[in-house]
Structure formats: structure tokens, C-alpha cells
Structure 1
Amino acid sequence: MVDVADALRTYWNDRGPVWIEHRERLDGMLAPLGEAAIARLHPDPGEHVLDVGCGTGTTSLELAQLVGGGGHVTGVDVSAPMLDDARKRAADAGLDNTTFVVADAGAHQFEPRHFDAAFSRMGIMFFAEPVAGFTNLRRSLRPGGRLTFVCWRSPEENSWVTEPGRAVAEVLGPPDPMDPDAPGPFSLASVDRISSILTGAGLVDIDITPHDLPVNIGGGTTDELVRYYMDLLPGTAIPENAEVHVIDRVKAALGAMVERRRTTDGITMGAAAWLVSARA
């Protein structure tokens, strides 16, 4: 039997360089969501904050600036390549109040009751055992410590993923149904599931608020945008054994979608997320 945590670790380490390559485009898309979550967290100077699934460190650096020299931010992610990039960015920015740890935040043995707050921008939906994972985060928080994160609602509410997915399905056919509760970007799409998991983890004062907004994927050539979709988005992956003419048809379908949606500001689509907060 495949160990889910090991499979996720392998995936994110293998894919890390691709995410680094597309970092600026991804950050541009996710920035409004991260800003909304950071505003809800409201980190204070001097606080110690855990950034879960921090990736290349964009939110960790933002949090580090907010907590200042008297505070500290620990970014944790399973992807060693992305954390190497995060460390370099922190050094370039002169932020010495950051630490980056290669680990599964759902299982890593953090110092108990150490953090004032835990945060995540779209990095907390991948726990193999969600209740155990959030329990581990709760134990890392001081009594009354805050947890704030933003996660996606259902794919059907997010045109940024459904539209390119439909373009690919025109060529490859509909994808196989996925377990909605399996670790992945939409595993916390259900408000009832979020509430059940957080309650089961011993967290209190749970608040789950819908957050809808347009997200901008940026501009560039059609080829650049098609490559971005094929590299990163769920539902746009091409089977490894696909023939060249099939790959060309998928690229053409995505290219047509790009041109339909292109504006002077690039590609803007709808996004739907949950802003979630709770306390230890």
C-alpha cells in the first residue's frame, strides 16, 4: 500500500522546481487571498508564527516583516527545493527572523506551546490524516494561540481551474472522479468537513467565512500561459504515454481558452475560498 504522506513528499519535491519557475505568476494570483488571511490573523510585533505549507516563502517573508526583529517566523514545507528558494529570498531581503524546516507540518514534532499563531495560504489541505495534522498544529500553539488559513472551496466555484479543465476534457475526455476528501487542493472545500476536522483536533472559536474574488493569472504569450496551465493546474495534466498529436490538441484547446479570456490585464477568472480562523 502506498503511504500517502510519502507520496505527497515525493510529488512536492519532484515538482518543486516547476513551482519555483512559475512563482511570480502564482504569487500574483494568490496574493489577494494571502493578504485577506494575513489581515484576519493580524500578527503583532514580537510574535512567533508558524507558516504551514509555505512553499517558496512569500507569505513567510510578509509575516516576518510584520512581526519584526523581536518576532520570528518558521516556514514549514515538504518540498526541499522550494524551501531552498525561500531561504535565498529571505537572505536577499535581509530577514534574519525566519527559519525554514523541511517537514510534514501534520506530523513534525514542534516545540509544544511555542507559537503565538499558525498560518497557511493554500498549504494546509494536504494532510494525510487531517484531524491528526490539525491536532499537531494545535499542540504547537500556546494556549489561546491563533490559527488562520485560507483554502479553496469546490472546483465548481473556481473558474480558474474549471475552465482550463474543461478545455483539456474536450480532448482527453472527463477525468476520473476524485475522492473529495483525499489530500489535495480541494480537500477542505466542505464547510462541514472543516468544522468537523477542527473540532476533532480540539480547536475552538471556529469561524469559517466565504471569500469570493477575481484572481489574475497575469499576461504573457499564449505559449507561456498554456505551459503554466499544463505544468500546474489540477485537471490539465497529460498522460505520460500521450502521443504527440494528442498533446498538440490539448495545447490548442488551452490556447483557445486563453485567447477567449485574455484582456489587457492578462487572464482574470473567478475564485472562491474559505477564510478560516480558530484558537487552541
Structure 2
Amino acid sequence: MENTANAAQVDYWNALAGQTWARFQAQLDRQIDPLGREAIRVLAPRAGERILDIGCGCGQTTMELAALTGAAGYVKGADISAPMLEIAKARPVPPGAVAPVFEQADAQVASFGDGAFDAAFSRFGVMFFADPVAAFANIRKALRAGGRLAFVCWRPFAENVWMRAPQEAAAPFMPESPPSDPTAPGPFAFADAGRLRGILGDAGFRDIGIEKFDCLIGGGDLEQSLELSLRVGPLGGALREHPELVSKVSDAVKAALAGYMTPQGVLMPAASWIVRAQA
């Protein structure tokens, strides 16, 4: 990772955060699967296409794209996290698909080949760039003329109950956090649709569409959902800095999650943008 413009994010996703996502890969894949599937539906991959999966993480979507592009297709998954790429490379290749290529790379600056891809895709992997205009311009450069871009990203934290409810339950036990920059690299960097549209336009994309997509996500039992809430998202990040508080917040968070228990497990509202554009 010598060629990177996002050193802080490289450190973050190769240390405890990346290791945590790798450890909980199966549960996290299940949790955000419906959101990724909607973005794939909007991308509409075709047999024989060449597709770049940006921020591919543990590779679930990369393999799904490989299955859709088939024996004549080519899919590359790019991510900065070595622990997550290890999971991705170990996944079985879908029948009839060509094994994807996985590369540890910073998509803001990596060279993927001029016009080498028919489409680019991401499931929550594009919100972490230090310079998002430069990053999307680099991604556009990798697309042929008329190539397609589709991705899913989070709407505001306040609308994402699956992250907000656990954090609100834990708040009385946690130190007060200073206000954060809403445009800084992080899960909610693209919460403002107007800002996101401007970034894509400045990067050279056209025919930009940004649509709301709401659904219930989760599916784990109460204990699984509790452990995940304490490990990932804003609350997980805060508890990594204050591990001594985990035992103090656990009962309150568990009670909050119990309110969303269904016969299919804990299911909570998630709010995202499904974004499409053309090079």
C-alpha cells in the first residue's frame, strides 16, 4: 500500500476494525445483503462484462457479480483491508463463473487501466476517501465511455435505527464525544444527497440518480445482534476506545435490541441511498 492517499483509512481497516469485520463476516454479509442486492439490481450486470467492485471487503458482492457476468466475464475486487481480502480470496467461486481477481489497492489513486471496465460497483465501500472527487474521477477513468456506476451508501445516522438505537441506549454510560465533521471520510460521508451529486458531477459522471432505499436488516438472534452492535458501527468504534465500558452498556443495548425481535431474528430499519451514474 505504498501508493495511497488514505493512510489513516489504510491503518484503520488493517488493524482492529478490519479484523473485526473479517471475524463477523458471515453475520455482516447477512445483515447488509438486501442493500447490496438492490444496488446490483440497479447496476444490472450482463454476461461477459468486466466489472470493478470497489471496497469489496470480504468478497460477497464480488462473487455475486462474477456469477452474473459468467464464464466470459471478468470481475476485480479492490480493497485496502488485508484481513478482509484474505476472507474474499478463500471464498468458493460460483459455478460457471471466472474466479475474480482481488487486489489490495486504494481506489482513489490505483491504476485499474484506462477504460478497462464496463461497470463499477460498491456496497458501502466508497465513503472513506480523503478526496472523493479525485477518487471518483479515478474510478471514472477505469470505465469505458458510457460505462455504468452503481453503489449503495448510508443516509444520515439519525435515519439508521440499526445503528442509532444501540448508541442511544449506551449514551448514558459513555463519555460525551465532540461533534464530528459530517463530510469527513466515514460511513455517513455521503448522507447529504446534494453533496454526493456534486461530487459525482465534479468527477465527470452524468445521468446521476440518487434514490432512497429502506428495508429491515439483521436476522441474528438477540445475543448475536448484541455482540455485533458492540463491535461495529459508531458504538463499536467508541467501545474500541473505551473497552472498559462494554460491560456497563451491554444490558441497556440488549434491551433496546429486544424491542426489534421478530420470528426472523432482530430486524431493524436501515436507510440508504442507491446511486447510479454514467461515465
Deviations 1:79-108 (A, max 9, x none): 011111111104587854310000111110
Counterpart AA for 2:226 = V
Counterpart AA for 1:66 = L
Q: 1 CA distance for matches of 2:100 and 2:240?
A: 39
Counterpart AA for 1:9 = V
In structure 2, what is the equivalent of residue 272 of structure 1?
271
Q: 2 CA distance for matches of 1:196 and 1:241?
A: 37
Pairwise mapping of residues 192-203 of structure 1 onto structure 2 (< 5 A)? Answer: 192-203=194-205
- Does 2:150 match 1:120? no
Does the 8 Å CA contact 1:134/1:201 hold for their aligned counterparts?
Answer: yes
- Does 2:255 match 1:230? no
SS in 2 for 1:76: strand
Root mean square deviation, CA, Å? 1.8
SS in 2 for 1:43: coil
Consecutive unaligned residues of structure 1, counting only runs of 5 or more, are none
SS in 1 for 2:85: helix
Counterpart AA for 1:73 = V
In structure 2, what is the equivalent of residue 163 of structure 1?
165
Pairwise mapping of residues 205-244 of structure 1 onto structure 2 (< 5 A)? Answer: 205-215=207-217, 217-222=218-223, 224-236=224-236, 237-238=238-239, 240=241, 243=244
Q: 2 CA distance for matches of 1:115 and 1:142?
A: 6
SS in 1 for 2:188: coil
Q: 2 CA distance for matches of 1:19 and 1:87?
A: 15
Does the 8 Å CA contact 2:63/2:94 hold for their aligned counterparts?
Answer: no
| TM-score (normalised: structure 1) | 0.92
Deviation of the 1:27 alpha carbon:
1.2
Q: 1:194 to 1:240 in 2, by over 3 A?
A: closer
- Does 2:7 match 1:9? no
| TM-score (normalised: structure 2) | 0.93
Deviations 1:220-274 (A, max 9, x none): 353x33221111121342264564xx43211122122222322222111111111
SS in 2 for 1:231: coil
User: Residue 152 of structure 2 is aligned with which of 141, 150, 153?
Assistant: 150
Counterpart AA for 1:219 = G
In structure 1, what is the equivalent of residue 187 of structure 2?
185
In structure 2, what is the equivalent of residue 257 of structure 1?
256
Deviations 1:108-150 (A, max 9, x none): 0111110000000111111110000000000000001000111
Counterpart AA for 1:126 = F
Q: 1 CA distance for matches of 2:240 and 2:140?
A: 39
Deviations 1:188-212 (A, max 9, x none): 0111111110011011111111111
Q: 2 CA distance for matches of 1:52 and 1:45?
A: 19
Deviation of the 1:176 alpha carbon:
2.3
Deviation of the 1:25 alpha carbon:
1.3
Deviations 1:30-53 (A, max 9, x none): 111111111110111000000000
Q: 2 CA distance for matches of 1:239 and 1:145?
A: 40
Q: 2 CA distance for matches of 1:161 and 1:112?
A: 38
Counterpart AA for 1:160 = W
- Does 2:48 match 1:49? no
Higher alpha-carbon deviation: 87-96 or 156-165: 87-96
Q: 2 CA distance for matches of 1:91 and 1:68?
A: 11
Q: 1:242 to 1:219 in 2, by over 3 A?
A: closer
Counterpart AA for 1:272 = A
Counterpart AA for 2:170 = V
Q: 2 CA distance for matches of 1:225 and 1:206?
A: 35
Task: Report the count of equivalent residues.
Answer: 274
